[in-house]
Amino acid sequence: MARLWDEFEALTKPPPDTNIRTDQCYNQLAMRRARSISLIVFCLLAGIQLQAASSEKALEKRVGAILSQPDLARGFWGIEVVSLQNGKMLYSQNADKLFTPASNTKLFTTAAALALIGPNYNFRTTVETSGTLDKHGRLTGDLVLVGRGDPNLSGRELPYALHTARNDHPIQVLEQLADELVKKGVKYVDGDIVADDSYFAFERYGEGWSQDDLVWDYGAPVSALTINDNVVFVNILPGDRVGERAFVSITPFADYYRIDNRIITTPGGTQRKIFINREPGSTLLTLWGNVPLDDAGASEDLAIEDPAEFAATLFRGLLQTRGVSVYGRQRTRHTELASLSTFTVTASAPARGGDEPMRSLQNQALVLASHALFAEPGVGACQLSIEAPGRGCTRHQQSEPELACRNPAAPARPRERNSRNRGGWPGSAARIPESGGCAQRSVCFL
């Protein structure tokens, strides 16, 4: 190919000047040059086509080798590979068949959110009241924490750098709101602390979610007031001696769950087996199994049961630690959006937006984005063909691989795809352990 290209360049150069050139000689030379150029161009095009065909055959062979492995050969696979440069289909297998998309659902959610509310959409979280503040610092009336779906009231580090990073301040925004109230002179709240998540419809779990999903972080309930992705982290370490119960701790909210710890420390070299159960509606965690004495420990991300109730309890505690006395109780408001017209005390978290939370394709961020579509004026179900929540836990959704390739959110920039190495675009089947967890019993598409 390189030699043909060199000859092509040589033939396309203008002929050297000569004093003995005649019209006949020039015409013969031009004809020979034209025939040679045509032949070389034909060979170049044929070589390119053969090279492309060879590449496609090599890709087909590689895919076939992967799918012929014993653990995969029994499955039913749908695959479509499309060139990012020209959109040409490079490989296809069952691309028009229906599969359970699992976490690939988040690609469609991302596309819809970016198209309908845009990458610069801002989320607002406020503290509001219709009461009055007197000279003694007494607020007469309820204090309402109003959530509007901010997906990053957490310790997640942004911008997203291809892996989840968290800092040690998961409730920093709520702390800022409590500090603002103190600065405004609030010392006593003669009313309730109300957590209002009615900006989204009260539908904590999506249709088709399984009961065993609800314990884990990927099955966390949906709420317009989402603190720390609506999850807590359970850490398990072996005891000091064989036969002792393991050490179990919860962060960042140590007292949220009651713990029934039945995990026993076993001799070093034994296998670690840990089981966790929580009944729906309960805040009692039951843990059992065994952990070896020489084990490095384990960590599990578990869902919060009621995000709004949790937010109300947490915010009341933050106020009390700042010296604010609360005479009422904490409660939630799910059914109607707070529409308070007169505000004496209003504290607002900085409006935050952009596409960074969605870039991570993290479950809760995408679910909140899908709900924001329906909550935003002018964007309703009549404009959407997606179903909230916008992640892949439901077994009822089905889609075909070729649709994913037409989805504008699916292609990543080549540099990003290369940096992800084997993982590909987040949310693909190759990333299921990180991005989902709901596809253990389903067949997903790449």
Per-residue pLDDT tens over the stretch 381-417:
333 333 334 455 666 666 777 776 665 544 443 333 3
Residue 367: count of CB within 10 angstroms of its CB: 27
| pTM (predicted TM-score) | 0.67
* pLDDT of amino acid 72: 86
Nearest to 170 by CA among 256, 235, 251: 251
Residue 55: count of CB within 10 angstroms of its CB: 11
Low-confidence ranges of the chain (pLDDT < 70): 1-53, 335-398, 404-446
* pLDDT of amino acid 4: 44
How wide is the angle at C-alpha 318 spanned by C-alphas 230 and 362, nearest 5°?
Answer: 20
d(CA 180, CA 298): 38
d(CA 125, CA 153): 9
* pLDDT of amino acid 115: 84
* Burial of 397 per CB tally in 10 Å (0-12, 13-18, 19+): buried
pLDDT for 94-145, tens place per residue? 988 888 888 888 888 888 888 888 888 888 899 999 899 999 999 999 999 9
d(CA 12, CA 4): 12
> Do 252 and 232 contact (CB within 8 A), yes or no?
yes
d(CA 429, CA 418): 17
* pLDDT of amino acid 356: 55
* pLDDT of amino acid 238: 97
